[in-house]
Amino acid sequence: MSLARPATDRSQPPPPAALRPFDFPPFHHQRLANGLRVLAMSMPRVPLVDLQILVPAGGQFDAPELPGLANLHGGLLDEGTARRSSLELAGLVEGLGGSLGSGAGWNMAYIEAGLLSDHLDRGLELLAEVVRSPGFAPSELDRTRQRIQAEILRRKGLPASLAERFFAAAVYGDTVYGRPLIGTAESLDQIDRDHLKGFYDRHVVPDGSTLIAVGDLDVDQLMARVEHHLGDWHAAPRPSEPVIEPAKLARTEVHIVDRPGSAQTQLLLGHLGVPRSHPDYPQTTLLNAIFGGKFTSRINLNLREEHGFTYGAQSSFARRRGPGPFSVRAAVATEVTGAATEQLLLEMRRIQQEPVSVEELRETQDYLVGVFPYTLQTISDIAKRLEAIAIFDLPSDYYEHYPAVLGDISREEVLAAAQRHFDPDHLAIIAVGSAEDLRPQLESFGPVLVHQP
């Protein structure tokens, strides 16, 4: 260091240099003759590939009498095929340093494989085998059923899981989103092999399904191998979309899940949201970021940094094909549960009454737009974006325009979105903790129901 070094001026944040622009990388999209869609991106930075097939076999298709069928079906897909046992399949993929998995969410079921790119063809072959000829062997059914039963039991001890379960029941009542995706102890006992095979026949079809491939791959070679392994997958009609139309609550309800001796309260409140396809999606994204979707959100600064009530408060609009919930979550100290709830309601009302400030809007837009390349570093980051395109039927150029769309939203539009999509007078408020401590703090918000886990 030279002696003549001038003192560094630290009084102001230094200005940025020139921005290096970024665009969502191009990708390949194609539909096979049998209806299977393929989305693929070459990303050769590391010698890995990520492969997955999404099929229209999500929990949204569960019948009222058999919740958990889609989840059990999804979990069983990779547990053996007509030719190979579960352990043989796992041994093949894991022996190559890869992984194989399957499961179901509300929207779709998936089968996925992560492999060193040298084994791309092997991965496609196994995915095709799994999707086209799963075994549903009775022994695997029993094993997987018992594993899920134990998971249901485990979740009864988890405050966050308990809150989710009672929240869904309160907001969605007797519609499909009101029943647990994982099923219930009773429904799982009733599911037999015929249910699974029937569900498979109706839902695991090429039309409505998408193969996603990202990583160190050559698109032409990939397409040739996809044609080879999946081109003759027989066509069948895609399942029709279920109608999910829950009624909103008549008034705010308080549900306490009694867990005596709890060290803190797991708080979850919210109401119906909108389907992912709603035209207000970008506005609600921005609204949520300001309200509770980032570290410097209003509720985190209020509950954590101002009051010290919690380690963190967040909100989200769950993105589903049907109307997923808007919800707010925080684990708060028991004695401040009422005060924290009050602050959350105040913040919901405030953002409905006055437009967000110019600075707040600007810095949130700059954050959401600026952070975009950071969210696209890995092959699974990219796969997630392609997944969204597949699941929500987004146009293939969606992510080219996404930053500009977010950047153009005005304060008035955020206010209008808050007025349309926040409803602090018709909330389900769930608190998991000691009912004795919580009831007096929460009864002013609405009628209180106490539940056992």
Interaction with another protein in 116-175: which residues (CB under 8 A)? Answer: 116, 118, 143, 146-147, 149-151, 153-154, 156-159
Residue 240: what residue type?
A: S
Which one of residues 16, 174, 194, 250 is an interface residue with another protein (CB under 8 A)? 16
Closest separation in Å from C-beta 206 to another protein: 28
Beta strands in 234-383 (DSSP E): 253-258, 265-272, 310-317, 325-332
Task: Report which of 334, 361, 308, 328 is spatially closest to residue 439, judged by C-alpha positions.
Answer: 334
Closest separation in Å from C-beta 156 to another protein: 6
Closest separation in Å from C-beta 283 to another protein: 19
The answer to whether 333 and 309 are in contact (CB under 8 A) is yes
408 SS3 class: coil
How far apart, in whole angstroms, are the C-alpha atoms of residue 402 and residue 399?
A: 5
Residue 304 has φ and ψ, to the nearest 5°, of -90, -60
Closest separation in Å from C-beta 302 to another protein: 11
Closest separation in Å from C-beta 115 to another protein: 8
Residue 283: what residue type?
A: Q
Contacts of 117 (CB under 8 A, 6+ apart): 47, 48, 49, 215, 216, 217
Closest separation in Å from C-beta 62 to another protein: 24
Closest separation in Å from C-beta 261 to another protein: 6
Residue range at the interface with another protein (CB under 8 A); choices 94-102, 199-207, 392-400, 419-427:
94-102
Which one of residues 26, 47, 64, 198 is an interface residue with another protein (CB under 8 A)? 47
Contact status: 309 vs another protein (CB under 8 A):
yes
Task: Rank residues 30 and 378 by Cβ distance to another protein and give the closer one.
Answer: 378
Q: Where are the alpha helices (DSSP H) in 231-336?
A: 281-292, 298-300
Which one of residues 30, 42, 84, 96 is an interface residue with another protein (CB under 8 A)? 96
Residues 321-380 that bind another protein (CB under 8 A): 331-333, 362-364, 366-367, 369-374, 376-379
Closest separation in Å from C-beta 437 to another protein: 13
Closest separation in Å from C-beta 144 to another protein: 11
Task: Rank residues 94 and 393 by Cβ distance to another protein and give the closer one.
Answer: 94
How far apart, in whole angstroms, are the C-alpha atoms of residue 417 and residue 320?
A: 18
How far apart, in whole angstroms, are the C-alpha atoms of residue 237 and residue 32?
A: 15
Per-residue binding letters, 373-412, with another protein (x by CB under 8 A): xx-xxxx---------------------------------
Task: Rank residues 51 and 391 by Cβ distance to another protein and give the closer one.
Answer: 51
391 SS3 class: helix
Task: Rank residues 266 and 288 by Cβ distance to another protein and give the closer one.
Answer: 266
Specify the residue for token string 């999606």.
Answer: 281
Q: Within a 10 A sphere around the Cβ of 335, how many other Cβ atoms? A: 12
Residue range at the interface with another protein (CB under 8 A); choices 249-257, 309-317, 408-416, 444-452:
309-317
* Beta-bridge partner residues of 115: 49
Contact status: 295 vs another protein (CB under 8 A):
yes
Which one of residues 3, 15, 247, 279 is an interface residue with another protein (CB under 8 A)? 15
Closest separation in Å from C-beta 99 to another protein: 7
How far apart, in whole angstroms, are the C-alpha atoms of residue 442 and residue 278?
A: 33
Task: Rank residues 174 and 374 by Cβ distance to another protein and give the closer one.
Answer: 374
Closest separation in Å from C-beta 341 to another protein: 16
Specify the residue for token string 């393929």.
Answer: 38
The answer to whether 421 and 280 are in contact (CB under 8 A) is yes
The answer to whether 326 and 273 are in contact (CB under 8 A) is yes
Residues 178-197 that bind another protein (CB under 8 A): none
Q: How many residues bind another protein (CB under 8 A)?
A: 82
Residues 222-261 that bind another protein (CB under 8 A): 259, 261
Q: How far is CA 11 from CA 8, 14, 17, 56, 359, in A?
A: 9, 9, 18, 56, 20
Residues 48-87 that bind another protein (CB under 8 A): 48, 86-87
172's tokens: 């969605």
The answer to whether 111 and 77 are in contact (CB under 8 A) is yes
How far apart, in whole angstroms, are the C-alpha atoms of residue 23 and residue 27?
A: 12
Contact status: 221 vs another protein (CB under 8 A):
no
Contact status: 262 vs another protein (CB under 8 A):
yes
Contact status: 1 vs another protein (CB under 8 A):
yes
